[in-house]
Amino acid sequence: EAGVTQSPTHLIKTRGQQATLRCSPISGHTSVYWYQQALGLGLQFLLWYDEGEERNRGNFPPRFSGRQFPNYSSELNVNALELEDSALYLCASSLRSRGSNQPQHFGDGTRLSIL
């Protein structure tokens, strides 16, 4: 069974540009989560999508946004990139989570570097 897949593996951008990161969940999983792992800050929750809807977001500015498609894959968009956005962006997926507690399984991430 294929795990969570993310693309691209590495993305290099300059300040002010926009970045798009993609995630395909494990087959059968309908919930997708995005986390940021920045040096010195650890893993921080960004966004949660379930059945196409944004269910929760972490303490990040609105220039971090995303969406979930009908096939449950997801996209994270970061606008007006800043140097401190340089980090590993991790996507996780789980079985439907509302009303239950399902473990989250992670992909290997997209490393975003801002020059």
Bridge partners of 78? 19, 64
Nearest 5°: the CA angle 56, 68, 55 is: 15
Task: Indicate whether 66 belongs to the interface with other proteins (CB under 8 A).
Answer: no
Per DSSP, the three-state class of 85 is helix
CB of 26 to other proteins, least distance (A): 12
Q: Which stretch binds other proteins (CB under 8 A): 11-19, 20-28, 50-58, 70-78?
A: 50-58
Out of 43, 80, 83, 115, name the contact with other proteins by CB under 8 A: 43
User: What is the radius of gyration, based on Cα positions, of the chain?
Assistant: 13
Q: What is the DSSP letter of 76?
A: E
Taking the least distance from each CB to other proteins, the nearer of 16 and 105 is 105
73 binds other proteins (CB under 8 A): no
DSSP, res 61: -
Where on the chain is the footprint of other proteins (CB under 8 A)? 4, 31, 33, 35, 42-45, 48, 55-56, 58, 90, 94, 97, 101, 103-109
